[in-house]
Amino acid sequence: EISKLRQERGRERLSRIHALQLESLRKLYEQLDLVQGYSQLMTKRAVFEGEKPEEYPVLLGSALVAARREFVSARLLLPSQLTSLIEAFFQKVVETQVNFGVAQRMLVNGTERAQYWDKAGTISHQEMPALLTSIENAARAIIGSEGG
C-alpha cells in the first residue's frame, strides 16, 4: 500500500510540474512571437500609410521584458536544450537591436548603414524565425509528453 501511495504521489507531482511547464511554455511562446513580430516590423524596408514605426521599439521592449520575465520564472521547469534555444533567441534580439541602432543612429556612410540594416533584417526575418521554430518543436515535444 505504501509503495502504491508513493507511486501515485510521484505521478501527481509529475503531473503538476507538467501543467506548470505547459502554462509557462504557452505564455513564453506568445511573448517570443510578439518580440519576433515587432523586430520584423522595425527592420522591414517599407512603411505603409497610417503605420507608426516609432511605436515598434516600445512595443518590442514591452514584449521583450514580458518574455524575459516568463523565461526566468519557467527556466528551472524547462529542459536545458530548450533553455539554450531561448537564450540564443534573446541573443539574436540583442544582436538585431545593436545593428538596427547603428543603422539608425550612428554617423556612418550610406553603404555601412545599409550593411547594418541588412544584418538586422537578416536576423529578424531569417535567424529569429528559425530559432522560434526550433523552440516551438522542443515545446511541442514537452506538450506531447505525459509528465515532463
pLDDT of 133 higher than 90: yes
Q: How many angstroms separate the CA atoms of 33 and 96, rounded?
A: 15
pLDDT of residue 6: 79
Instruction: Say if residues 99 and 119 touch (Cβ distance below 8 Å).
Output: yes
Segment 57-81 mean pLDDT: 95
pLDDT of residue 107: 66
Angle (deg, nearest 10), helices 80-105 and 2-43: 20
pLDDT of 53 higher than 80: yes
* Average confidence score pLDDT of the chain: 91
Predicted confidence band of residue 146 (pLDDT cuts 50, 70, 90): low
